[in-house]
Amino acid sequence: MKIITIGDLHGKTCWSNLSFDEYDHIVFIGDYLDGDGSTDEIENLLQIIRLKISNPQKFKLLIGNHEIQYYWHPESTLKKFNHRLSDSFLKILKENDDLFDVAFQANNYLWTHAGISNRWIDFAENKYPGFKLDFENSPAATLNNWHKSNKREVLYSIGKAKGGLETGGPFRADISELRTGIPLNIKQIIGHFRVKSIEKSEIGGIEVILTDCLNSSIEWAVLDPFSGNLSVLR
């Protein structure tokens, strides 16, 4: 199996130069919006959505913190907020709500925008007993199902490192929170944290792949989740 991860785009169109025929899944890690204004962000987002509609099982569209501020959780407004296009972003995201997920899982690899820390799992468990067991049994399904429930607000939590009062969840975790400990039973592929190139590292002996490199390098992580083989497409 081959899965290619498309890192934080922020309006960039470089993904459209790729051929996706050889991949079993294409995972967009979130943060499609709030670029530098040099591209048509609305059309770029719509093109990605059309891909998803054309093959829903192959293309996985994850939500980033730059999307939740326009639709799912407007209380999470960031310093970078496009007032001119905000109504258009809201309309597109609302009309295509069912095409976006919080997480994707293949074998023991979990894709989310900003990652999952043990600290946040404990925070969610304290608010909603039973979350921890659900997550351990089925990480991606639990995150996706909770996002469609009345318990979704726990997913939007923001930690002190990001100016919040809680612990950062899968959209707004800080790398310092992840470094306090991450789940032992799952390896993670995340965006959100800028790196110069695709980076494979470890936190507490658990593999973490960082993919938010497009500001520095046009690179894509290609992973076989069964062998664990990681290659970088340039």
Whether residue 114 contacts residue 172, with contact meaning beta carbons closer than 8 Å, is answered with yes
Residue 101: domain span:
3-233
pLDDT at 165 over 90: no
Number of domains in the chain: 1
Whether residue 115 contacts residue 191, with contact meaning beta carbons closer than 8 Å, is answered with no
* Average of per-residue pLDDT across 88-92: 97
| 220-223 and 230-233 beta bridge pairing | antiparallel
With bands split at pLDDT 50, 70 and 90, how would you rate the model's confidence at 10? very high
With bands split at pLDDT 50, 70 and 90, how would you rate the model's confidence at 105? very high
Q: What is the mean pLDDT of the chain?
A: 96
Which residues, at least 6 apart from 213, have a Cβ–Cβ distance to it below 8 Å?
7, 194, 195, 196, 197, 198, 199, 219
Q: CATH number for the domain including 62?
A: 3.60.21.10
pLDDT at 125 over 90: yes
| Residue 11, phi then psi, degrees to nearest 5 | 85, -10
Question: How many angstroms separate the CA atoms of 82 and 120, rounded?
Answer: 29
**pLDDT tens digits, 140-150:** 999 999 999 99
pLDDT at 162 over 90: no
Question: How many angstroms separate the CA atoms of 172 and 168, rounded?
Answer: 5
Question: What percentage of residues in the chain have a pLDDT greater than 70?
Answer: 100
With bands split at pLDDT 50, 70 and 90, how would you rate the model's confidence at 75? confident
**pLDDT tens digits, 18-67:** 999 999 999 999 999 999 999 999 999 999 999 999 999 999 999 999 99
